[in-house]
Every structure is written in structure tokens, then in C-alpha cells.
Structure 1
């Protein structure tokens, strides 16, 4: 059982105690792994955003359900726990995910940048199999459920893809509710301030996550932007994979794979505005 008092103390601690952020790519938070102590084998993700007690309770329930559904749909996850933590002792609760740490050299995105063409294609296959397995199984899930299988959300262990992004929990929320959640828990104050003026576009960010063919196209697009010299190989892989592993969605996927897929301009603009790293995968 997680010691929430110790967890709150760790989150309040200085950078040297907490450990530096292991990624600055995140829209919602900058995960960190403590260099020592009881949480040294865990990654800590803190999601700051103003929310009522009822909203937080709903979020916690949705997260538990989402982890369960992901697992039931064949998605391998590291051990993941969701907590509502009183960080500063005022009684105000903050969502915190404590997750089993994965070796940094297993993270898919850095490996996609460094490995050979054949190795990157093998990783694409591993991630693609998770995408196909999830969506086929998710057809039996009654709730509205989504999946965000970005390259930066996978690790590769023993040739298999491990998915580690469970926030926001893409289950039980309507499209409009999820759009508001994207603003409510954005790490960047600027986004929370100006986002409501662009709510329609912010809400649209999620649409790919609820579309089986678009999640596959998104994976291929990220790979093409990371390694443009292999774009033709990734496109060929995506077309073959769509037809062999996701035939019920192949037609729509093929429409998106007639050339290197591009991110919507508004999302690229958001990332630059917020100062999120990610070149060239933007």
C-alpha cells in the first residue's frame, strides 16, 4: 500500500530529492523518478488542476476502470496506481499516478531515433499489435473508450510493447467532457487561460484517440516524422498491417497512409506555444 504522507512529502521536496523530470514531452505533467528512497523504482506523475471533490472521485473511478479495460483488452501496462493526495496539508486533493518505472533504454521514442530501419520496423510491429488487439477487444466494451498509442507512450521489452499512458482515462467521458478535462488538467497555466477561447479545437485533439484507423495512422505519422529517411518503409508497413491485422478499418487507414501523415496545424501550434519539446516529432 502506498504511503500517501511520504508521497506528499516527496512531491513537495526540492528537485535533488525528487529527481529530475524524465520527460518534458508531456501535455499534462513532467513525470519524475526519485533517485533514492521508497519510490526510487517508481515514476511519479502529478496532475494539477482545479477540480471539485465530485470531479476527482469520478476521475479516480474512471482511471481504475480504464486500467482494467486496457488490461482486459490485451494491453500490457506497468504496475499503475492512482491516488488523490493532499500535497500541502490543506485538504485539497491532487491526482497522482505512481507507476512502476521502466528502464530508460526501453522507451520506444529514443530507440526509434537511434536504431536501425529493421529494428524500428520491429518496434512498429510490436506497437501495432497492441493497437489492433485493443480495438478488436474494445468492440465489446459498452462505454465510450479510447486509446492514445503514441510512440512516446510505449516501451519495448523483450520484443513486446508496454503502454504506460493512463491519463486522462479515456473511458466514461463524453467528447465535450473530455475536451474540458484536457484544459482542466493541462500543466501549463497559459493553456488553462487561453484554452477556453479555443475550446472547439482543444476538444478536437482527442478525436484520433477514439478512432481505430486514426490511431494506427498516428503511429505511422510519428515514425515518419522521427525518421523521415525511412518514411516509405513505414508507410508500406502501415498499409500491410492495416489490411492484415485491422481489416475492418483498413479502408479508412489506407486513406490516411497515401503519404506521410501530418499533425493538425492547430496541435503543432499548441505544442510550440506551450514550449513542449518534441522535435522533430511535433
Structure 2
């Protein structure tokens, strides 16, 4: 199997793993059986690919792959996926499975895009570029999701005011119902939060392998983590009944404004996000 093919398959594993986390997150918050099944089968595909590569490596080297940090990280990631699948099948516990897979995804990304792996690979430069591409793709997907939450929250407030003032006309017939708008807000957040988390994980990995003077205290990075925290607090507040109706909609609008400020001002002040 060529180096290029191996690289592509490892990248595919990272992408499949990332998508599975999105579905696990949706399932955990909404108890969505379909999302749960999709997440499980995606993780299962990742595990099968990992197991095949692990077996081929053992056959090639005639030893168990735990003698270096690089090998140990891969084996650790494989164990986490294995345990998460066993927990899913034997005990049906959701939260431990979700967090195990988040940790597994982090270490799988570290292994795939590790500095030693990139330095030794004949396609190392391409690998770094594609890591950046995947990071930016997930960041854009999160921005799209948060934009949708902003749109639905704005429509919710418009519809709420129209109904409250009893000024309903035919012009408003194409507006979604209040329930539909609220579900749209929540659904967009359920997608946007894991997309942003995955983007941050991959972005930190890219910065670590690509930049000589990388610091986590970059303005854009801090702003992105603050945005992620705010959206998580919005979900938490809504689930606890502290944020509802118009207050819930307004928090979406304020959070999106923070995302926009971070996108433009954070990128301008950042030491390495200038291409955004």
C-alpha cells in the first residue's frame, strides 16, 4: 500500500471520526436513535480501519507497536475506540462513550498529523495543507450553523412580536411557527458546537506542527474558545429552563455577534489567522 494511499485513508478516518462526534452530540442532547446509529456505525468503520492498519503494522515490523510515543498514541486511540464500542454494545451508556470518542479523536488527529509523521512522510507538505483544509472546512461549517441559528432566532423574534401585537397579515404566512423557529435555533446549535470543537482541535494541531512560535494565547484562538463556551452555556441554560422564548432567541443573536467580531477583529489581531 503506497504512502499516499495510507495518508488518504488516515485522513478519511479522521473525517469519519469527526462526523461521528457530531451525531453523538446530537444524540446525547436529543436522544435521537437514528443519529446514535449513524454515529456508532461511523465509529465502527474507523475501528475496522484502525485494526487493519494495526495488524498490517504488526506483520510488517514483527512486534507490537508500543515501543515509541508515536506508536503508543495510535494504540491508545485504538483502545479508546474499542472500549467505546464495547460500552455501547454491553452497557448502553451514552455520556462515557461520547467523551471517550472525543479523546480518541484528539489522539487520532495527533497521530495522523504528528510532526514526526509529517517529517518522515514523502507527502508531508500535502498532509499539513490538508490538515489546514479540514480545519477550515469544519470552521466554515460551524459558522454556517451559527448563521442559521441567528436567522431562526431573528424570525422567532419577528413572529413573536407580530403575534403579540396582533398584526398578523398575509405577508407573514411564510414565516415558520414559533415552535419551528425554536427547533431551528436548537438544531443549528447542535451541529455548530461539535463542528467548532472539531475545528479547534484540528486547528491547534495544525498550528503546533506548522508554526515556529505558536502560542495558544492567540486572540483568534481565545475568541473561538469563548464563542464555543457561550454556545454551550446557551444550550445548558435552555435545557435547565433558564433560557426560553425571546430570551433564548436574543442569546443566539448576541452569541452570533460575538462570532462575527471574533471572525473579523480576531483574525486581524491574530498572528497567524491573517488568511481568513
TM-score, structure 1 normalization: 0.29
Structure number with higher strand proportion? 1
The answer to which structure has the higher helix fraction is 2
Question: How high is the TM-score relative to the length of structure 2?
Answer: 0.29
Larger radius of gyration: 2
